Amino acid sequence: MQILALNCGSSSVKYQLFDWNKMEVVAKGMVERVIIGDSFILHEVPGREAYRCESDCPDHQVAIDLIIRTLTDPEHGVLEEISEISAVGHRVVHGGEKFTRSVMIDEAVLDAVKEVQHLAPLHNPPNISGIEAAKAVLPDVPHVAIFDTAFHQTMPEHAYLYPVPYEWYEFHGVRRYGFHGTSHLYVSKRAAAILGKKACETNIITMHIGNGVSHCAIKGGVSVDTTMGLTPLEGAMMGTRCGDIDPAIPAFMMQKENLSAKEIDGILNKKSGVLGITGRFTDRRDVIEHANNGDKRCNLALEIEAYRLKKYIGAYMAIIGRLDAVVFTAGVGEMGWPIREKAIEGLEHLGICLDKERNKGAMTRKRETLITTDDSPVKVYVIPTDEELVFTEDVAAILSGTYTDHMNFEYTFSRPDFVRK
């Protein structure tokens, strides 16, 4: 059974083809610059050189058609014909309160996703376009929606409600939803397996750090709080997003600079965070390099980011109680050892004892690594995330009729004998 996972952004489509019988990735890649021109596909097959092809993609349907043509190409493909694809899993960023787990997509589900697209105006519209485009290209196979927000629907009311007029929640859905749910699910299950415990017996803080950043407090295997809120703007400092700030700042700056609501929203989402402090960088590798060379603002950006990471670790420990582990994941979490060091050092009084040499050695996206000392009461791991595997397993389980909520469904990666390929 071949399962295709799709992640449609506003100007890109990421994909991965997974052979369920062999339990391995057959091919993966991305179509970039969809809609905006000069589009191209970058296609990767294990054991082969990466293949790049320029091809104009004015919309998502053309992009997905390009993916299918590449997968079935006699020279560069891995399938003989399109009918070998058994199902498609779609990432959907925002499911609102309606969806607590992955579901088969029908018209009612698609309508429900459209109803909450105002809550994620940058993400849900391209997700919807991708679903509609894929159903047009692959009309005869099941399509499944996997929601970023679903994992966080276990948060208690006192954690997800904001202290604003209650009518805002009743009539407009203003509440904390959280994102990166599939990533938090994957790495928390892996951490429990590494610890030799059942997920329901573990308390873990997961730190997803990429251009977008979110953390999750996981108690007894379920999400009880997370940093992103109504939108992905809240929480930690990010590549271009400000994260937590005084809510009076936007109105203050709108008056001072004569900015519109759209303009201030754009600044907080696209010109703040690491970019706002450094004035030129979002990639932490650039920031670290220039900080090492004496750039004061790059060093300041690292200090601010690490300081805020450390604050959330402490805050979530207060919520969770006994803590088993902290997990770093995603691009910066997996590769940015200086940021991890700054965030963790000095937490010995909380039972976290960093091994600096282990931490420096954890610079790969292919290995799960312990970066605390052997006698550290709280373990800290670097665990590469695999959201596409969550997509794939949800799709396979839904097709077989064995799928249920994540606490009662056994993922392959939650088993002690799981080996990442």
SS (H, E, C) the chain: CEEEEEEECCCEEEEEEEECCCCEEEEEEEEECCCCCCCEEEEECCCCCCEEEECCCCCHHHHHHHHHHHHCCCCCCCCCCHHHEEEEEEEECCCCCCCCCCEECCHHHHHHHHHCHHHCCCCHHHHHHHHHHHHHHCCCCCEEEEECCHHHHHCCHHHHCCCCCHHHHHHHCCCCCCCCHHHHHHHHHHHHHHHCCCHHHCEEEEEEECCCEEEEEEECCEEEEECCCCCCCCCCCCCCCCCCCCCCHHHHHHHHHCCCHHHHHHHHHHCCHHHHHHCCCCCHHHHHHHHHCCCHHHHHHHHHHHHHHHHHHHHHHHHHCCCCEEEEEHHHHHHCHHHHHHHHCCCHHHCECECHHHHHHCCCCCCCEECECCCCCEEEEECCCCHHHHHHHHHHHHHHCCCCCCCCCCCHHHCCCCCCC
Distance CA 279, CA 271 (A): 9
Phi then psi for 32, rounded to 5 degrees?
-110, 160
Assign 129 a pLDDT band (cuts: 50, 70, 90).
confident
Assign 45 a pLDDT band (cuts: 50, 70, 90).
very high
Answer yes or no: is pLDDT of 421 > 80: no
Put simply, whether the predicted model's pTM sits higher than 0.85 gets the answer yes
169 vs 95, 109, 191, 197, CA distance in Å? 16, 22, 34, 37
pLDDT of residue 36: 80
pLDDT of residue 416: 85
pLDDT of residue 1: 86
pLDDT of residue 176: 96
The reply to whether 2-147 and 196-382 are identical in fold is: yes
Calculate mean pLDDT across residues 1-26.
Answer: 88
pLDDT of residue 419: 82
pLDDT of residue 125: 83
Task: State pLDDT tens for residues 297-333.
Answer: 999 999 999 999 999 999 999 999 999 999 999 989 9
In terms of pLDDT, which residue wins out, 11 or 285?
285
Task: Classify strands 85-92 and 143-147 as parallel, antiparallel or unpaired.
Answer: parallel
CATH number of 196-382: 3.30.420.40
Contact 277, 306 (CB under 8 A): no
Calculate mean pLDDT across residues 49-64.
Answer: 89
Calculate mean pLDDT across residues 94-120.
Answer: 88
Answer yes or no: is pLDDT of 78 > 90: yes
Dihedral of the CA atoms 226, 231, 233, 238 (nearest 10)?
60
Distance CA 256, CA 273 (A): 20
Task: State pLDDT tens for residues 241-251.
Answer: 999 999 999 99
User: What percent of the chain is modeled with pLDDT above 70?
Assistant: 100
Calculate mean pLDDT across residues 103-115.
Answer: 91
Domain residue limits, the chain? 2-147, 196-382
Domain topology for 2-147:
Nucleotidyltransferase; domain 5 (3.30.420)
Q: Identify the active-site residue in 148, 225, 386, 394.
A: 148
Residue 225 falls in the annotated catalytic set: no
| Two tokens, residue 55 | 């091809």
Distance CA 218, CA 234 (A): 19
Distance CA 108, CA 31 (A): 29
pLDDT of residue 308: 97
Dihedral of the CA atoms 235, 367, 218, 414 (nearest 10)?
140
Task: Classify strands 12-19 and 2-8 as parallel, antiparallel or unpaired.
Answer: antiparallel
Contact 184, 222 (CB under 8 A): no
Answer yes or no: is pLDDT of 121 > 80: no
pLDDT of residue 60: 85
pLDDT of residue 34: 85
pLDDT of residue 196: 94
Task: State pLDDT tens for residues 378-400.
Answer: 999 999 999 889 989 999 999 99
Contact 17, 9 (CB under 8 A): no
